[in-house]
Amino acid sequence: MEENKSILTSLNLDFPVWEQIFTVHPLVIVGTVGRDSSQNFAPKHMAFPLGWKNYFGFVCTPKHQTYQNIKETGVFTVTYPKPDQVVITSLTASPRCDDGTKPDLKPIKTFPASEIDGHFIEDGYVFLECKLKKFVDGFGENSLILAEIVAARAWSDVIKNPSHSDNETIYNHPQLAYIAPGRYAVIDETQAFPFPKDFKK
């Protein structure tokens, strides 16, 4: 029986490339504060460090309350959720009611940021407090939000520690990843990347 052979195929650019293939992304929850001091949370997967220093960015649209809140306050929080929080993370994407609230979020426990006005989702594993640097608009209907990390916290058992191998740390504290479009994965096994000799950042 002849094996199926994969053929290099052009993707149709009349549609987003990212909806035609699967790609791996982090999954975070961005927290903002509204004009009425209400807490707003939203999941984001187009989120990433900006360079090797303490800068962070993510993609959003001016249509979303997250963008408008950051424009108003200049700050936001980032919670990296654990794998057992995938349902909570999903609920932060719930549609708003006519009064602008998200009732599904009422049972979710939070705690306050230390340096900015904002909250985190309780039981995540890394927590970033960010101050806006700039918006970069013009990516279709989307914008890039660039910020500086002004405070960061993590649980001690997820911080890199010479007394534990990296693989052991990740195995004991798995990472949640978003597999776009529409899927997720739990990462609990990793291998060291084979950097070439004398590789530098």
Taking the domains of the chain in order of start, what are their residue ranges?
21-187
pLDDT digits (tens, 9 = 90+) for 44-90: 999 999 999 999 999 999 999 999 999 999 999 999 999 999 999 99
Instruction: Show pLDDT as tens, one digit a residue, over the chain (201 residues).
Output: 567 788 999 999 999 999 999 999 999 999 999 988 889 999 999 999 999 999 999 999 999 999 999 999 999 999 999 999 999 999 888 876 666 667 667 778 999 999 999 999 999 999 999 999 999 999 999 999 999 999 999 999 999 988 888 889 999 999 999 999 999 999 999 988 898 988 887
Q: Contact at 8 Å (CB) between 76 and 31? A: yes
CATH node for 21-187: 2.30.110.10
- Per-residue pLDDT at 106: 75
User: Which residue is it, tokens 């705690």?
Assistant: 111
43 forms beta bridges with 29
Q: Contact at 8 Å (CB) between 149 and 54? A: yes
59 forms beta bridges with 144
Count of other CB atoms within 10 angstroms of residue 57: 19
The 3-state secondary structure of 119-187 reads EEECCCCEEEEEEEEEEEEEECCEEEEEEEEEEEEECHHHCCCCCCCHHHHHHHCCEEEEEECCEEEEE
**0.85 exceeded by pTM:** yes
Q: Contact at 8 Å (CB) between 120 and 80? A: no
